[in-house]
Amino acid sequence: MRHAFGFVLGVLLTPALVYGAAWGYVQAGQSFDGTGQEITDRTRIYGAFALLAAVGLVTGVVIVARWASPLVSLVPALALLGASAYFLVDPGRALDLPGRVPPAGDMDFGLRMLLGSGVYGMMGLALLMPAWAPRRWGSDRRDDPADADFYSAVGR
């Protein structure tokens, strides 16, 4: 049951991370002038940085959460790594994909830039790491005597 819930959560988390990072990237880029080295819209850049921080926080929690099924991180990891590999094989078609998925507009630019710059590949590799931990695949039972000593020592 834990892995079924983890799979569903991973499927829901994938577009949230992808679109959240892309929208934050676009909003941050539109709120400062790189040539004049000044922030042109403080409200927009604060919101963009808050969204990017939230994406980073959710990613970090998914990576370190011992209670979570590894599928919570594995599903978005495979999607992000698959998209990155597709970009490396056929960049034209991969960069055309955001134009086919709603919403259109500035979001497409953010999706293309993060895909083409390797940010989604980096996020995918970071999210892949928890799936390698054998402890995450097992249940939370404490039947092993060695584990009982550990849990009594940490107070769980």
**What pLDDT is recorded for position 53?**
95
Q: Is the pLDDT of residue 45 over 70?
A: yes
**What pLDDT is recorded for position 133?**
76
- Least Cα distance to 124 among 79, 92, 77 occurs for 77
Global confidence as pTM: 0.78
pLDDT in tens, 58-107: 998 888 887 888 888 999 999 999 999 999 999 988 888 887 777 777 78
Average the pLDDT over 115-124 and give the result. 92
Are 70 and 130 spatial neighbours (Cβ–Cβ below 8 Å)? yes
Q: Is the pLDDT of residue 154 over 60?
A: no
**What pLDDT is recorded for position 66?**
78
Average the pLDDT over 26-41 and give the result. 85
Q: Is the pLDDT of residue 55 over 90?
A: yes
Residue 142: pLDDT band by 50, 70, 90 thresholds?
low
- Residue ranges in the chain assigned as alpha helix (H): 2-30, 42-64, 71-89, 91-100, 106-116, 119-128, 134-137, 145-154
The radius of gyration computed from the CA coordinates of the chain, to the nearest angstrom, equals: 19
Q: Residue 32 pairs with which residues in a beta bridge?
A: 39
